[in-house]
Structures are given as structure tokens and as C-alpha cells.
Amino acid sequence: MIRLERLSKVFGTVTAVDGVDMEVPEGEVCVLLGPSGCGKTTTMKMINRLIAPSAGKIFIGGRDTAGQDDVALRRSIGYVIQQIGLFPNKTIEDNICVVPDLLGWPRRKSRERAAELLSLVNLDPALFLRRYPKELSGGQQQRVGVVRALAADPPVLLMDEPFGAIDPINREVIQDEFMKLQAALRKTVIFVSHDIDEAVKMASRIAIFRDGRLVQYDRPDDILAHPKDAFVADFVGQDRTLKRLRLVRVEEAMMADPPRVQAEDTLDTAVALMREHGHGSVVMVGPRGRARGQVRLEAADGRRGLVGENHEPLPGTVLVGDDLRTAVARMFEHDVTWLACVDADGFYKGYVTQRGITHLLGATYGKRS
């Protein structure tokens, strides 16, 4: 969708961007990441030609942007800046409708769209459309800034540290909102950040820049698991393994098809099963396979009776779709080393162990480094 070919920008004696080649597929979020002054903003602004490239080409949807009218090009690209840049003299409604108005949309259509977009970011149109930017909180303004970029439904969105000015708690909320929006709209997004956590959370691909050069361009998990060099490893941080916890789903670390018992089984059966697998406990499932409780070897060994009368509650469960961070947090919370994994309907799917997680994260490191 967006392709940069040997793109460079020289300001006087400073080479801000140096021969960058990359391609962002349609519908993906590409985060440009790197320390201050590495050329992220310059790269982004060359895409909507706020900065003219010194060398190289940019293609959007296969068309070279150099041959196009700058103004028309910019109207077809959503743009969000860190300072938000809402026009203080215009109402929220008119701010959102800037590009539709420039494009000459019928007024009704654009105003309806403004209302619809506001509700998408949980701002009540009845309350906010007629307000002025100063009457909104920072977070609310930032939401309007994002929505304004989406107003004319551009296929491409450029965002320069859009959530940089917001406090960490609100930032998480807005990031989540944006991801939901993006899941529905599937725009091709280029997103500048210098926050590795934000990048890991939002990106389908991360492009790491250093001194104007593109050092590594990969999926977030690959960047964390296989940093290309010491610079990248250092930039993503000593705790990159912990960051990966966010990216890996419970499913991937889970032991599937686990042993299980039912209420009408005897404790002997349960004990035999645990011994066979070398487990300290076994999950009891209901008639259709929902996780209902557990039997611990320690408690059941040497006793007689049915599982149904002797089971204990499960210490904790985790959804197969959750990330490993959630799983690990829950283990700490309940002081256990394993968790039963269930699907959204509560069916028992497998279990994760601390050992399994450690092993999975370690194994991917082993592959390349």
C-alpha cells in the first residue's frame, strides 16, 4: 500500500533520512520507532509531502506521490499531530468536517459523519459537537484529533506521536480505543512513536530507525525475540522478554488436550491419572467439558470417594485468547505455578505452567541469537 524506495532527506549538512526502503501492506499499522532526531517525523512528512524528499520515491497504492497534486494528496491522507492542532476558532463539528468541507461534501453528509465518528470514540455528539476545543480535556481533544483525520475516510493515516501528550493512564485507554477503531476500519497506518511499549501494543510492524537509517523492520515479536544488533536490543530494553508476554497468546504456550476427570469418577481414578502424567492436580470438568474445579494429589491420595464430593475450587483460570502477561499476573495473584485455560464459554482447553512460559520465550531466543 505504501512503499518507500531509497528515500532520503538532507537538510543542509544533516542527513535526516538516509536511503530508507520499506513497504507497509494495506490495513497494517507500521510504527516508526527510534530515539529523538533519528528521522521518524521527517520520513512521515515526506509521505504527505509536507517535506519534499531529497532523493527516492514514495508510492501509495502503486502511484508515485511525486507526480500528484500536493493538496489533493494531503486530503486523501489522514494526519494526526502530537500537538493535536484542533482549530480553536471552530467548533468540534467544524473541526471534524475540515477535510470533507475542503472536498466539497454535502453539509448534511459531513455533519452526520462527524456525529457518527464522535460516538465511535465514546464522546456524546449531543454534548460535544457544538463545543469549542478549549472546552474539552486533553484526552477528549486527542480523540477528536484522531476522528478528524478519519472524517473523509482516507485509506492512509499518518500519526506523529498522537498520544504523546497524554498521561499514561489515559494513553492506554485511547490506545485501546484506537485499536478497536482500527480493527473495524483497517486503515493503513504509519505511526511515529518513541515508546517501545506503545509500539509493541499497536504495531503490526515496527521500523526501528537510527541516525536516519532503517535498522530493522519486522513484526513486534520478531523485534523483541531477535533484535538485529546491539542498538536494537538496547533500544527495546533489557526487559524485552517481559514485553513479549504481551504479544504471545496463552494458546501458544498452553498444553492442549490435558487429562481431566468428571464428578462421577472416583478419587482413585483421579490419583492414577495424576501419577500417570506426573501432575500435582487435575481439573474436574462438567458433563459438557466446562472447567468446574480441581482435585489435588496431596489431598486425594489415600482417600476414597467420588471426585464430585471431594473437589476444590480452581485457583484461577485464564482465557485462551489472553496474553501471557495476564496469565503470569494471575499466577502471581493466586500464588500458583499453573492455570487452567478456558475458552470464552468456559470449556476446559488446556493448562499453562510457569515452566512452559519460560521455555517458550527462551526457545524463540535460541532460534537466532
Ligand X SMILES: Nc1ncnc2c1ncn2[C@@H]1O[C@H](COP(=O)(O)OP(=O)(O)OP(=O)(O)O)[C@@H](O)[C@H]1O
**What is the contact surface with another protein in residues (CB under 8 A)?**
48, 50, 71-76, 79, 81, 83-91, 98-99, 102, 132-135, 148-149, 158
Single residue of 29, 31, 40, 314 touching ligand X by CB under 6 A? 40
Decide which of ligand X, another protein, Mg ion, none touches 88; Cβ closer than 5 to 8 Å per partner kind. another protein
CB of 123 to ligand X, least distance (A): 28
Asked whether the beta carbons of 321 and 348 are under 8 A apart, the reply is: no
- The DSSP result for 218-266, as a single string, is E-HHHHHHS-SSHHHHHHH-TTHHHHHHHHSBHHHHPEES--EEETTSB
CA distance 201 to 217: 16
Q: Looking at beta carbons only, is 91 or 326 nearer to another protein?
A: 91
Q: How far is the CB of 212 from ligand X (least distance, A)?
A: 7
Decide whether 76 or 82 has the Cβ nearer to ligand X.
82
The span from the CA of 218 to the CA of 136, in Å, is 38
Contact between 193 and Mg ion (CB under 5 A)? no
Q: Residue 250 CB, nearest distance to ligand X (Å)? A: 35
Closest distance between another protein and the C-beta of residue 340, in Å? 51
Residue 114 interacting partner from ligand X, another protein, Mg ion, none (CB closer than 5 to 8 Å by kind): none
Task: Kindly state the smallest distance separating residue 253's Cβ from ligand X, in Å.
Answer: 35
In the bound state with ligand X, the residue whose beta carbon lies nearer, of 50 and 103, is 50
Q: Which residues pair with 211 in a beta bridge?
A: none
Residue 179 contact among ligand X, Mg ion, another protein, none, beta carbon within 5 to 8 Å by kind: none
* Contact criterion met (CB below 8 Å) for 352 and 338: yes
- In the complex, what is the shortest distance from the CB of residue 43 to Mg ion, in angstroms, rounded to a whole number? 9
**310 binds Mg ion, rule: CB under 5 A:** no
Biggest alpha carbon distance in the chain? 85
3-state secondary structure of 32: strand
CB of 125 to Mg ion, least distance (A): 32
Could you tell which of Mg ion, ligand X, another protein, none binds residue 135, using a CB distance below 5 to 8 A set by kind? Answer: another protein
Contact 98, 85 (CB under 8 A): no
Closest to 217 (Cα-Cα) out of 38, 44, 20: 20
Say which entry of Mg ion, another protein, ligand X, none residue 87 contacts (CB below 5 to 8 A, set by partner kind). another protein
Select the span of 29-37, 179-187, 312-320, 325-333 touching ligand X (CB under 6 A). 29-37
Q: Of another protein, Mg ion, ligand X, none, which one does residue 36 interact with (CB within 5 to 8 Å by kind)? A: ligand X
Q: What are the residues facing 353 on neighbouring strands?
A: 338
E strand or H helix that includes residue 75: helix 70-75
Measure the CA–CA gap between 139 and 283, rounded to whole angstroms.
45
The answer to whether 155 and 187 have CB atoms below 8 angstroms apart is yes
Q: Does 41 bind ligand X (CB under 6 A)?
A: yes
Closest distance to another protein from the beta carbon of 344 (Å): 41
List C-alpha distances in Å: 22 to 5, 79, 118, 186, 229: 7, 20, 33, 20, 19
Give the nearest distance from C-beta 4 to ligand X in angstroms: 14
Q: Which of residues 180-239 bind ligand X (CB under 6 A)?
A: 194
**Residues in binding contact with ligand X, number by CB under 6 A:** 12
Single out the residue of 9, 17, 41, 114 in contact with Mg ion (rule: CB under 5 A): 41
Alpha-carbon span 148 to 131, nearest angstrom = 15
Count the neighbouring beta carbons within 10 Å of the beta carbon of residue 218: 18
50: which residues sit within 8 A by CB, 6+ positions away?
Answer: 74
**Residues at the interface with ligand X (CB under 6 A):** 11, 14, 16, 34, 36-42, 194
**Residues at the interface with Mg ion (CB under 5 A):** 41
